[in-house]
Chain A
């Protein structure tokens, strides 16, 4: 993969299509992870990743490099794509194929495995209820395994703000899970 900085590649990509391909190769996995954890299935993740990169390319001539990583621009587009996807989905109320397959798989698994899977699903659903920037932070931290400095640069914040956001995210997530558990107990 290219060692050139984002700024160099961005400047080159205005004239040289190959440079845009290098930016694509650099960020495809991160954008895919982000979208996958926000949608919860591979099929929609692939669709939204394609749209994200096409949108980035379409508006690339107007993109101004202000020193932020190119990924910040891609995450912004990806965030809008996912928000539109959630809006459309809430109108249609679709059950994704992955979920249907998972629930049928669960029925075929031993109880302990199914229980663990249920716990994981509950946690991931709670993660998806968090505000987008908190979801982004968790994906960067645990999936992409970025350093705090990298997360701060990508999200346009200070490292101190990232530390505090991580703390508040865990607290909010715990409250959400406790709320759900209490709701289930009451029912």
Chain B
């Protein structure tokens, strides 16, 4: 039997174990294939038996959920505060730069006017 065929049959067998018997019928396993794969089929059956679904306790799920919700709220609020801080900081820096450039331009103009009038006097 080739590898691909074995892959398909093993998975069809697993599906059948999980309540879908039609998967095995559709795969159409021959007696020879059945015989060859029996040890792996048996192993899969053992796995199915010893790996039942497990559930966390409801109290654990509830308490962890509550703690996480609280932390998530705190984290989102912190991120918002941080973004607002960055925005205010950027706006402040922007305003300062604008004021500085207006003052700079005024100083430059005044100094040029003074230089010109000084030159005219001479």
Nearest A residue to B17 by beta-carbon distance?
A: A142
A84 within 8 A of B: no
Partner of A166, one of B14, B51, B71: B14
Known: A142-B48, A148-B11, A174-B43. A49 touches B54 (CB 8 A): no
| Cβ < 8 Å to B, chain A residues 137-160 | 138-139, 141-145, 148, 160
Chain B interface size, as a band, is: 35 or more
Partner of B44, one of A13, A28, A124, A170: A170
Q: What residue in chain A is nearest B41 (Cβ atoms)?
A: A170
Q: List, sorted by A's number, 19 A–B pairs whose CB atoms are closer than 8 Å.
A: A14-B76, A20-B72, A28-B56, A28-B61, A28-B64, A32-B56, A46-B60, A49-B64, A50-B64, A53-B64, A57-B71, A119-B46, A142-B47, A143-B53, A166-B14, A167-B10, A167-B40, A173-B47, A174-B40
Determine if A164 and B65 form an interchain contact, defined as CB atoms under 8 angstroms apart. no
Closest 7 CB pairs of A and B: A17-B72, A163-B7, A120-B50, A142-B51, A17-B73, A32-B56, A20-B72
B54 to A33, Cβ gap below 8 A?
A: yes
B52–A49 CB distance below 8 A = no
Question: Considering residues B53, B60, B72, which has the most beta carbons from chain A within 10 angstroms of its beta carbon?
Answer: B72
Interface residue ranges, B against A (CB under 8 Å): 3, 6-8, 10-11, 14, 17-18, 39-40, 43-44, 46-56, 60-61, 64-65, 68-69, 71-73, 75-76, 79
User: Which residue of A is nearest B66, CB measured?
Assistant: A21
**Taking beta carbons and an 8 Å cutoff, which residues of A are in contact with B?**
13-18, 20-21, 24-25, 28-29, 32-33, 36-37, 45-46, 49-50, 53-54, 57-58, 60-61, 119-120, 123-124, 127, 138-139, 141-145, 148, 160, 163-164, 166-167, 170-171, 173-174, 177
Chain A positions within 8 Å of B10 at CB level: 163, 166-167, 170
A88 to B79 CA separation, bound complex (whole angstroms): 34
Chain A's interface: helix, strand, loop or mixed, by majority? helix
Q: Separation in Å of the A2 CB from the closest CB of chain B?
A: 14
- Taken together as a complex, chains A and B put the C-alpha atoms of A29 and B64 apart, in Å, by 12
Contacts A49-B56, A124-B50, A170-B10 given; indicate if A25 touches B65 (C-beta within 8 A): yes
